Every structure is written in C-alpha cells, then in structure tokens.
Amino acid sequence: MLKQFAVILGAILVIEGLPYLAAPSWMKKMMEQVRLLPDTWLRIAGMTAVAVGLAIVWYAGHMD
C-alpha cells in the first residue's frame, strides 16, 4: 500500500509540475487571475476536484 501511495504521489507531482516547466510565464498570469477570484469560487472548484478525485479512486477500486 505504501508503494502505491508513493507512485500516486509521484504521478501527482509530475502532473502538477508540467505546466510550470512548459509555460512558466503563463502560469504566473494564471496565478494572478486566480488571486482575483472570490473565495467561494475557489472553494467550489476545490470541492469539485475532491469529489471527482474520490469518484475516480472509488471507481478504480471497484473495477474488478
């Protein structure tokens, strides 16, 4: 289980790091735009990401 966690964590870091590697100036612009968004929108986006992530994990666990 620890090995799976490490692989998943590594994959997340690769995916999260790619935009910064590929387009750092674009990422800076995006961060400026995110800073201007209302907190409610960020919470909704975070809640949606968590729900989709949990659904994917649940589905992957029940694929057998």
pLDDT tens sequence across 38-52:
999 999 999 999 999
Amino acid letter at 52?
V
Q: What is the pLDDT of residue 29?
A: 97
Q: What is the pLDDT of residue 57?
A: 87
> What are the structural domain ranges in the chain?
2-61
Burial (CB count <10 Å: 0-12, 13-18, 19+), residue 49: exposed
Report how far Cα 27 is from the mean position of its chain's Cα atoms.
14
In order along its 64 residues, the chain shows pLDDT tens digits of 889 889 999 999 999 999 999 999 999 999 999 999 999 999 999 999 999 999 998 998 898 7
User: Is the pTM above the cut of 0.75?
Assistant: no
Q: What is the pLDDT of residue 27?
A: 96
> Using CA of residue 30, residue 31, residue 36, residue 38, what is the dihedral sign?
positive
Residue 4 to residues 27, 51, 59, Cα–Cα distance (Å): 29, 21, 16
Both tokens of 9, joined, read 């964590």
